């Protein structure tokens, strides 16, 4: 069974600081996704990472993927309050033949304080 | 181009009643997925459907839950005789093709069982 672990689960940061969220997964997979969820809202797709060494950046967020280590990171640079949200990573079940089935981590609740 | 539509957005049911959740995929999408999010948890896969076919329902509880995606109309997730433990957010996603194509999520239906 594919397992996805995120850490930390809770992250409180000050504006202007940098931090990294980690996502480990247990079996090989073709795709890794990062999503943002605001309270009571749906999931907003941030990044789709497809290959080893992939790095994508959007604004203050940068995601990377190491398929050999089965690890993805979401790095936050110079955090601002607007980044406060819950961030999820998700992996598809391609190694088990069910690449349509996303398995999610428990999420990281990020709070950026002024 | 409208996104994935779900209704109702909020649904309150008493124990023992039935809940019907509807999902209209994005235009041009014929693959639908349902996920459930319990409080402070990540999303968990429930079922994958194509028009008139259930492809994978491995994440569905064996009793009381059913899903359909008819030739015409929205996909329906039906929960019979709801219990308090069914209280959750139910998200629908759709994709243009199956097999790993990116899934786009709807706004969710938040079910509360009293």
Q: For residue range A69-91, what is the model confidence (pLDDT) as tens digits? A: 999 999 999 999 999 999 999 99
pLDDT single digits (tens) B31-80: 999 999 988 788 999 999 999 999 999 999 999 999 999 999 999 999 99
Q: Residues of A numbered 83-112 whose beta carbons fall under 8 angstroms of chain B's beta carbons: which are they?
A: 88, 90, 92, 94, 98-107
Whether A23 contacts chain B with CB within 8 A = no
Q: Do A102 and B103 touch (CB under 8 A)?
A: yes
How does residue A94 score in pLDDT terms, banded at 50, 70 and 90?
low
Burial label, B68 (beta-carbon count in 10 A; 0-12, 13-18, 19+): middle
Contact list, A102 vs chain B (CB under 8 Å): 33, 35, 43, 45, 103
pLDDT at residue B21 tops 70? yes
Give every CB contact of residue A79 below 8 A, 6+ residues apart in sequence: A13, A14, A15, A16, A17, A18, A19, A60, A110, A112
Q: What is the mean pLDDT of chain B?
A: 93
Among A9, A10, A12, A13, residue whose Cα is nearest residue A104: A9
- Best probe of the B interface among A41, A96, A100, by most B CBs < 10 A, is A100
Rounded CA gap, B32 and B46, in Å?
11
User: Residue B41: what pLDDT?
Assistant: 81
Q: Chain A closest CA to B52's CA: distance in Å? A: 18
Q: What three-state secondary structure class fits A6?
A: strand
Whether A21 contacts chain B with CB within 8 A = no
Whether A30 contacts chain B with CB within 8 A = yes
Whether B31 contacts chain A with CB within 8 A = yes
Contact list, A23 vs chain B (CB under 8 Å): none
Whether B42 contacts chain A with CB within 8 A = yes
Q: Which two tokens stand for residue B89?
A: 């957010």
User: Residue A41: what pLDDT?
Assistant: 87
Nearest CA in chain B to A39: B40
pLDDT at residue A95 tops 70? no
- What's the average model confidence in pLDDT over A94-110? 84
- Best probe of the A interface among B6, B7, B42, by most A CBs < 10 A, is B42
Nearest CA in chain A to B34: A101
User: Residue B1: what pLDDT?
Assistant: 54
Whether B98 contacts chain A with CB within 8 A = yes
């Amino acid at each position: 069974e594919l397992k996805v672990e995120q850490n930390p689960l809770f992250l409180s940061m000050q504006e202007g600081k940098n931090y990294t969220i980690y996502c480990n997964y247990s079996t090989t997979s073709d795709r890794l996704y990062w999503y943002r969820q605001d309270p009571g809202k749906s999931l907003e797709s941030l990044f789709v990472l497809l290959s080893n060494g992939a790095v994508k950046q959007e604004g203050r967020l940068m995601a990377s993927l190491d398929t050999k280590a089965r690890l993805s990171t979401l790095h936050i640079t110079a955090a601002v309050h607007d980044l406060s949200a819950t961030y999820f990573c998700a992996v598809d079940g391609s190694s088990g033949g069910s690449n349509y089935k996303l398995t999610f981590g428990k999420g990281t609740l990020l709070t950026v304080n002024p | 181009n409208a996104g994935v539509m779900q209704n109702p957005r909020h649904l309150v049911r008493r124990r023992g009643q039935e809940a019907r959740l509807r999902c209209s995929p994005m235009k041009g999408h014929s693959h639908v997925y349902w996920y459930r999010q319990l409080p402070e948890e990540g999303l968990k896969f429930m079922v994958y459907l194509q028009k008139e076919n259930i492809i994978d329902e491995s994440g569905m509880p064996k009793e009381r839950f059913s899903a359909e995606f008819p030739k015409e109309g929205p996909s329906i997730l039906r929960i019979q005789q709801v219990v308090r433990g069914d209280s959750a957010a139910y998200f629908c996603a759709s994709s243009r093709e199956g097999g790993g194509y990116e899934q786009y999520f709807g706004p969710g239906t938040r079910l509360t069982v009293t």
